[in-house]
Amino acid sequence: MNKIIRKIQLSDDVFQMEIEAPLIAEERKAGQFIILIVSEEFGERIPLTIAGADEEKGTITIIFQAVGDSTKELGKKSEGDYIDSLLGPLGKATHIVKYDKPVVCVGGGIGVAPLRPIVEAFKKAGNEVISIIGARNKDLLILEDEIRAYSDEVIICTDDGSYGRKDLVTAPLKEICESRDPAEVVAIGPPVMMKFCALTTKPYKVKTTVSLNTIMIDGTGMCGGCRVTVGDETKFVCVDGPEFDGHLVDFDNMINRLNTYKHQEEEHNCRIGLDSKGGEK
């Protein structure tokens, strides 16, 4: 069992937790993730990116949005409580190199959480890092200070203009591709956002890496639930990823698969008397 050392509520349904996990804290690298089980009653396996780690304290940090039964139950946990099961680090780490040109890191919504350790790793490798982070509004923006700490420049976009630029993250991304000729773009966020980031960079032939968050069950490549098409090949996000060449990912296929699971969940809720948000009808 793993003890929750610290808990912070970042927005209405987004939480940050620092959890005792000394072996994972020692071994983890930017881009990797864990799978946890909240309790015996909520036995669903939840994949979550490692948003940070402290080797001296033996802790890792996770950030999650309470949207399903298991993440809502995780959100009810308090400091001093325990998580029944936690496995990691899983997945391949981000390939970090020193470039002569800028690296652009783009995060949307909760995707800023997995982006944070990648921004840090690129900066510590000696790169010029430009970060673009976006959210629907100011209240939903997370980890701004942490991103600024390891960025040479930060551009903030909100859909409603309540903070930073009133723009999609692809607008400043296009401007940077045109004026700065970046060495690499790393984009993490909703699938549609990553798709359009890749479409934005493709005409400029800028290497673009995306981190995929698909349906995942076992985390070892056995179940096939996380499969995606990359180029002409089938890949498994849990063992081949989570990061892939954004110009080769079949985002439409991935989005259709995610929507299929979503529709099945909604149909199941209707059958057992719940509305689309899991509340009683």
Give per-residue pLDDT as tens, 196-250. 999 999 999 999 999 998 888 878 788 888 899 999 899 999 999 999 999 999 9
Write down the residue that tokens 């968050």 correspond to.
213
Instruction: Select 103-257's CATH number: 3.40.50.620, 3.30.70.1230, 3.40.50.80, 3.40.30.10.
Output: 3.40.50.80
- 270 is annotated as contributing to ligand binding: no
Closest CA to 225 of 257, 194, 265: 257
- 226 is annotated as contributing to ligand binding: yes
What are the residue ranges spanned by the domains of the chain? 2-90, 103-257
Return the DSSP state at 280: B
Distance CA 203, CA 49 (A): 30
| Residues in the chain, pLDDT under 70 | 261-281
Strand-pairing partners, residue 14, are: 65
Domain 2-90, CATH homologous superfamily name and number: Translation factors (2.40.30.10)
Which pLDDT belongs to residue 280?
42
Residues making up the chain, counted from first to last = 281
Give per-residue pLDDT as tens, 39-50. 877 778 889 999
DSSP string, 193-244: HHHHHHHHHGGGT-EEEEE-----SSSSSSS-TTEEEETTEEEEHHHH-SEE
What pTM was computed for the model? Answer: 0.88
- 64 is annotated as contributing to ligand binding: yes
